[in-house]
C-alpha cells in the first residue's frame, strides 16, 4: 500500500522529533504554547485515567512515545501504542527500551481511521493526543474506530488543532486564500499535507454519532498561546509564575466560549 504524505513526512522527520526538530511549517505565525498545552492535557488525562494499573490503554497515534513514557512512569504497563509511521514507532521503541515495564507495551502500525488490527471492546482507556485524528482526514471514522475498540464505560480522549485559532494565524501570514479554505472546508495545510481543524461543536458531533457521551470540552491553552513568544518563554522559566498561569488556564479552559480559539481542542467522552 502506498504511503500517505503524512506517513512519508513523519518517517522522514522521526529521528529529530523527540529533540524538537519538527517538520518545517508553511507559515511561521502559528502559536500553540506547547508547554501549557502539555500540562493541561496531562491534567485531564489523569482526571479520567482509571486508578487500576492493570488496565488496557490505547495510545492512538502515539508517535515517539512521550505519553506512553509518562504512563509507564506511573506504573501502567498494558499499553498499546499505534502510529501510521514506522519511523515514529521506532523512535518510541528507543525512548521506552530501558523503562521498567516496557516489555508489556505493544507498538503497532495502524491507521487510526481503520484499526482493523485491533478487536472491538478491548481497551479500558483510549486517547489520541495532538492531531492523529485530524491528520487522518477522516475524523468521523477515526472517532468511530476509537469508540469501537473501547470497552463499555471506557473514557475516550481526543485532541487536535482548533479551526478558528488558525484563521488569524493564516491572515497574519498573508495566506488569505488558505484562511478562506479553512473556514469553508475545515481543511488546513500547516505542512505539506492536509489536516482537519475542527470546532468543539463539530468534534463533539462526531462523538455523539459514535454513541459516546461527552463529559468535557477543553481548550489547551485558552490564553497563553496568545501571549508573545518571548514574553511567554520568560514566564515559563519562572516555576512559580508558570504554576500560577497554569492554574489560571485550568480555571477557564472548559469555558466553551473560549475553547474554539484555544491552541488545541480536547474532548473527553465515554462509551455507553
Q: What is the DSSP string of 99-155?
A: STTGGG-EEEE-BTTB-TTS-SS-EEEEEE-SSHHHHTT-HHHHHHHHHHHEEEEEE
The three-state secondary structure class of 244 is helix
pLDDT of residue 267: 98
pLDDT of residue 9: 75
In a domain, 174, yes or no: no
In a domain, 178, yes or no: no
In a domain, 172, yes or no: no
In a domain, 70, yes or no: yes
In a domain, 103, yes or no: yes
Q: Which are the contacts of 243, defined by CB distance < 8 A and separation ≥ 6?
A: none
Q: Domain span at residue 121?
A: 5-161+191-271
Element (H, E) at 98: none
In a domain, 154, yes or no: yes
pLDDT of residue 1: 44
Instruction: Please report, for the domain that includes residue 52, its CATH number.
Output: 3.40.50.150
pLDDT of residue 11: 76
Name the grid cell of 253: 479552559
- Report the number of distinct structural domains present in the chain: 1
Name the grid cell of 223: 490564553
pLDDT of residue 3: 64
Q: Write out residues in the chain with pLDDT < 70, as ranges.
A: 1-3, 16, 18-23
In a domain, 171, yes or no: no
pLDDT of residue 23: 66
In a domain, 252, yes or no: yes
Please give the torsion angle defined by the CA atoms of residues 197, 202, 206 and 212, in that order, rounded to the nearest 10 degrees: 120
Cβ distance 99 to 71 under 8 Å?
no
Amino acid at each position: 500500500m502506498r504511503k500517505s504524505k503524512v506517513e512519508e513526512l513523519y518517517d522522514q522527520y522521526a529521528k529529530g522529533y523527540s529533540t524538537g526538530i519538527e517538520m518545517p511549517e508553511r507559515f511561521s505565525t502559528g502559536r500553540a504554547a506547547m508547554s501549557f498545552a502539555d500540562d493541561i492535557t496531562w491534567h485531564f488525562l489523569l482526571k479520567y485515567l482509571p486508578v487500576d494499573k492493570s488496565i488496557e490503554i490505547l495510545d492512538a497515534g502515539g508517535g515517539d512515545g512521550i505519553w506512553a513514557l509518562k504512563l509507564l512512569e506511573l506504573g501502567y504497563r498494558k499499553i498499546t501504542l499505534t502510529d501510521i509511521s514506522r519511523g515514529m514507532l521506532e523512535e518510541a521503541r528507543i525512548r521506552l527500551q530501558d523503562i521498567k515495564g516496557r516489555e508489556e507495551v505493544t507498538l503497532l502500525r495502524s491507521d487510526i481511521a481503520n484499526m482493523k488490527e485491533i478487536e472491538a471492546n478491548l481497551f479500558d482507556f483510549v486517547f489520541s493526543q495532538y492531531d492523529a485524528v485530524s491528520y487522518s482526514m477522516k475524523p468521523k471514522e477515526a472517532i468511530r474506530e476509537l469508540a469501537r475498540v473501547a470497552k463499555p464505560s471506557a473514557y475516550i480522549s481526543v485532541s487536535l488543532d482548533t479551526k478558528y485559532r488558525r484563521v488569524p494565524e493564516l491572515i497574519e501570514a498573508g495566506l488569505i486564500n488558505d484562511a478562506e479554505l479553512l473556514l469553508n472546508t475545515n481543511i488546513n495545510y500547516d505542512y505539506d499535507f492536509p489536516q482537519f481543524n475542527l470546532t468543539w461543536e463539530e468534534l463533539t458531533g462526531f462523538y455523539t454519532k459514535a454513541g459516546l457521551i461527552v463529559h468535557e470540552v477543553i481548550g489547551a491553552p485558552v490564553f497563553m498561546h496568545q501571549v508573545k513568544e518571548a514574553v511567554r518563554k520568560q514566564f515559563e522559566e519562572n516555576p512559580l509564575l508558570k504554576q500560577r498561569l497554569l492554574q489560571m488556564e485550568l480555571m477557564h479552559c472548559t469555558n466553551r466560549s473560549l475553547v474554539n480559539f484555544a491552541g488545541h481542542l480536547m474532548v473527553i467522552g465515554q462509551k455507553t
